[in-house]
Structure 1
Amino acid sequence: MLYGIEQIADKRGYSIITCSTNESIEKEAKILDFLCSGAVDGVIISTVAGETQLADHIGHFRELLQKQIPLVMFDRVTEKIECDKVVVDDFEAGYKATKHFLATGCRDLAIVNPIANSPIGNLRIDGFKKALEENGLVFDEEMVVPIGAEDDMELILSVSLDFQKLNGILVFDEITTVKVMDILRTKGYSIPNDISIIGFTNGELSKYVTPSVTMISQHGRHIGEKSASKLIDRIEAKVHEDDFETKTIKTSLVVRGSTLPLGYHKC
């Protein structure tokens, strides 16, 4: 995503400042306060604020707009702020991943969710549910395991899930996907023969672990390019002031070695 932003910014004569929140809403608030000081011409952000946190947090975004600093939100967005947005079709992504599990014979599925406070996680779960319903399967809320940044993942997964009854796990980010695979291997499970894995993001890491990971690609570079282009158009007043746009990016399933072949029925 960052590469796409850099490419467009450089091409159009802009420099970028990168700020990391480390999933901290307090840090995000401090960064937004700094950016409101006039240090930048515009802001692109994927907010860490969940729906329950927005009431106290939304004023930071409004202050940006009041100071006429253009804002583009991507991926994690809120409908409570009127601005340009670039989002992923997360419902479709959850649906697509689950359909692939089912097409490979995997029907006993779980979700590991490290973004439990984010609306995008809920959309992915809704897509998961839809695919199950279409195949006559019942969604079990207990098969969705939220993971916090400070949590002992191995302990939580061991307590929450009966691995012997599972044959597929959907994981909502790349780093957590690799960690889940490592936990399964240490417990003696073979991937994908015992348990198939599908993750999200499709960065470099997922290509080089063993087995390489079947991933939902969110086309991060394209998101970055669209976000940067829209922001710079705003800065240069190339679009009408109130003509806000939400661009939805479709996902792709990149099939690799962590899932069984299509039509496989051992699971």
Structure 2
Amino acid sequence: MNSKPTIHDIAKALGIDSSTVSRALNDSPRVSQKTKKKIIAKAQELGYQRNLLASNLRKNVSRTIGVVVPRISRYFFSSAIQGIEEAAYLAGYNVIICQSLEELEREQKIVEGLIANRVDGLLISISMETLNYNHLQAVINSDIPLVFFDRYCNLQGCSNVLIDDFNCGFNATEHLIQQGCKNIVHFSGPQYLKIYENRLEGYKAALKKYEVTFQHIISSKLMEVDGYNSMISALEAHPNIDGVFSANDVAAVGAMTYLKAQQIKIPDDVAIVGFSNEPISRVIEPALTTIDQSGLKIGEKATALLLNYIANKEASNETQTVMVDSNLVIRSSSKKMI
């Protein structure tokens, strides 16, 4: 089997120095355009391929960014990844995508691996278990720009790309109140995560504005089974519940599954609003009212911010919080006949 051609083979074929070939292939201004064209033509003829890894290592760059999300299967994260990959591709970067599965230990090992693989930057939406930020501080200590998205993280020198979770929580709850609901339960995620704290605070603010005294909160990991069990618990404690604001669509679907099994009418008996605008929210019966998080835009903006920090390391010390618009998508699960 023939070995791969090298710059020395190109130089020998053209009768010139290998250093000239190297400069030409790296588009150096020290080589004339005429000579560059001749060298590139010969390189193509011989089937020469540049060793990008070696080239990048010499430049101390990898042209790669790491992305860590809790679950790729969640529509919000898959759409955010779509935005990330497109923005990275247009800028000439590759993307390494990893999922923590909401586990701190797994997230720590992933981050360690990305540092070891010398990524140029890191985008992360932290897991539900992430209370210790030592592994993320290690990213900063390695001089790797770091941007958080979706789930806020208060780490000095790092920026966040988010939606207004408080306002979304308020709008979702206000909508239920305007549909005539007076006993609204909120299915929340862990309160040490700022997104769930803010959605809860939005829920409370809407109740206060409309002088609704009933308040009931159930926290979980917001899996479908959690929504199912939370609905059971809520109705056992308060049989008069007539509205549910779930901090994600997955738990909302679980709640709807239980209600339908019990022949409790949606939305006539219990109106439901979810969060994330998962694809299932459009096709489930009745269709689920939800908050559209604009995952694609969040991915694009987070990547643009990270690439700016990679290009200008000093700028990465300037903490920013970038807010992306979101909106309430009203469907049949919450539209009562009032």
Q: Answer yes or no: same fold by TM over 0.5.
A: yes
2:233 is aligned with 1:159: yes
Equivalences, count:
257
> Which string of whole-angstrom CA distances, capped at 9 and with x for unpartnered residues, describes residues 190-240 of structure 1?
111111110000121211111111111111111000001111111122872
Identity of aligned residues (%): 30
- Alpha carbons of 1:128 and 1:150: their partners in 2 closer, same or farther (altered >3 Å)? closer
- Give the distance between the partners of 1:204 and 1:219, measured in 2 at CA: 13
> Which string of whole-angstrom CA distances, capped at 9 and with x for unpartnered residues, describes residues 105-125 of structure 1?
112100112444422111111
CA contact (8 A) 2:170 2:206 kept: yes
CA contact (8 A) 1:116 1:147 kept: no
Q: Which letter maps to 2:220?
A: I
Displacement of 1:180 in angstroms is: 1.3
2:123 is aligned with 1:44: yes
> Which string of whole-angstrom CA distances, capped at 9 and with x for unpartnered residues, describes residues 39-95 of structure 1?
411110011256xx53xx211111111111110001112213321210111110110
Deviates more, 1:77-86 or 1:222-231: 77-86
Q: Which letter maps to 2:93?
A: Y
Aligned to 1:20: 99
> Which string of whole-angstrom CA distances, capped at 9 and with x for unpartnered residues, describes residues 145-191 of structure 1?
11247895344432343464111101111221211111110111111
Aligned to 2:317: 242
CA contact (8 A) 1:170 1:198 kept: yes
- Give the distance between the partners of 1:136 and 1:92, measured in 2 at CA: 18
CA contact (8 A) 1:115 1:172 kept: no
- Alpha carbons of 1:118 and 1:109: their partners in 2 closer, same or farther (altered >3 Å)? same
Q: Which letter maps to 1:58?
A: Y
2:155 to 54, 76, 80: 80
2:198 is aligned with 1:119: no
| Equivalent residue runs for 1:132-147 within 5 Å | 132-140=207-215, 143-147=216-220
When the two chains are superposed, the root-mean-square deviation of aligned CA atoms in Å is 2.1
Aligned to 1:229: 304
TM-score by length of 2: 0.71
- Alpha carbons of 1:16 and 1:250: their partners in 2 closer, same or farther (altered >3 Å)? same
| Equivalent residue runs for 1:188-203 within 5 Å | 188-203=263-278
Structure with higher RCO (Cα < 8 A, 6+ apart): 1
Aligned to 1:33: 112
Deviates more, 1:66-75 or 1:230-239: 230-239
Unaligned runs of 5+ in 2: 1-79
Deviates more, 1:25-34 or 1:145-154: 145-154
- Alpha carbons of 1:240 and 1:151: their partners in 2 closer, same or farther (altered >3 Å)? closer
- Give the distance between the partners of 1:126 and 1:155, measured in 2 at CA: 23
TM-score by length of 1: 0.89
CA contact (8 A) 2:291 2:329 kept: yes
- Give the distance between the partners of 1:27 and 1:86, measured in 2 at CA: 23
- Give the distance between the partners of 2:300 and 2:202, measured in 1 at CA: 26
- Give the distance between the partners of 1:187 and 1:81, measured in 2 at CA: 49
- Alpha carbons of 1:229 and 1:152: their partners in 2 closer, same or farther (altered >3 Å)? closer
Q: Max radius of gyration: which structure? A: 2
- Give the distance between the partners of 1:156 and 1:206, measured in 2 at CA: 19
Q: Secondary structure at the match of 2:290?
A: strand
